[in-house]
Structure 1
């Protein structure tokens, strides 16, 4: 841990806990007493931290700051990629919530906390909102009729009876399910649940749950490992056991972008002698994989399996036929 990280950690410990014994600093920061004293001196002298030692409690604490004199402020600190993404996503979702709804009045303190964490006290709120943007792509606009009820049943571990409209089968079905996990994937909500009709784990798109009723029966419980194995096996939102591994061959030009992307947690990739990227991707359902391959156009070729290659050939032939027909007409 470098010195700046320690300074922030010392500040956070004092702000959260109030009074902190020196032994706690030495143990949690894994530093010597001499190093702690040097850090304390920097905080007091350079950053005007009002840190005092209370002999009776044998602990350090931050004294309240008055309106006169220099203010205690550590230098601005940005975040790593995962931290920034989590905070920006949280900030964007909070701003999109209905301020007039049931929890609307309770949101402002939470928004303030996130904005303070992102921008610090020196960055105005309007400036922060102007400089950060999370662009939603492919977000479905239909209302989620049963979101609150599903969330409540999920946490209370109650079964649900739902009426579900399948897009692929274009049919309605009545199901009893044991909700396991809510998932936000590519701007859309899904529910992983044990389907008592199909006797297996299934993923349900929340915008297709037309009706929902909470039952008195407790959920069928599955282990975290079962849920993780179910999710990792598939490709994209389609979960399940792996049925095949696709090998995709990207052009050297497109490889410069794709080589840094994660298509699947268990993917493998190599660069051949001609600069082509060979990407191996496990999948259980090929629908989303086909869509992702198609967006790369003539910069990618499916090498195997043959059944996936044939599907791409058929799809591209149909697409070409559409353009040929429209040109002739």
Structure 2
């Protein structure tokens, strides 16, 4: 069995590629291909975004819960809203940040494409960071605008994070276009450049970027303790600028696939059609699953004036029919009993 290694090689000439035989696939070593520059730029973008996300969210609990420290106090704080409100808001921020990617994915797949969605999300993200920094300075806290500013910033930041989070890793995956393994020779030894190994290597670096970025909370929580909250929030803002910079620098390098339609919207339409037909026609013996009703059905009236199922509309689109069949493969036991 071949030993799989995730190491990169120099970019090879595509015009002299040789595909391996079945025997070579099982006996030769599989290695990673040259990783495109666009991938590294996206990894840097993810590093900056995760640095900003974890860096700004780390001080939230102390910032909201505790009041500004007195002369003899070492407990950092600013708003003094108590533990309950602080925990509720930080939990809401985390929840919203992980809910917003659904909307980000729909926008990318249905309307804008991944790259444009990320750019727009980064602008939204930056607006939230600016509001957070400005609302955390001493004059804002003294005038009572820090708390509403924080809530507004949380909503904006969550929306921005959702747009980035749902699209940055798929965009990175699209930058590598090789789909079949090829043979190369390194130091007199034949090896196989494997797209699967290359993709593993790319995502290894991607998740390293996430983990390194997550360490930012150590920096910002110490900054809040020994200096101020506004500086703790300013650091993520400064680093996040790097995410926008690399996106703009690589704009002509990125592989950008046009939006092809959101599966969530298509699934919603199929389920909506199924529920509507089920409600209109009642339970039918030859439709044991709710999704069976998603096929476009025409009705006729028998001699007694009752609706009966006639024939399925032969003009329905092949895409709808194929998608319906794929969706129906999902084991939804509840639907089968409706």
Verify same fold: TM over 0.5.
no
TM-score (norm 2): 0.22
Higher helix share: 2
TM-score (norm 1): 0.22
Higher relative contact order (CA 8 A, sep 6+): 2
Higher strand share: 1
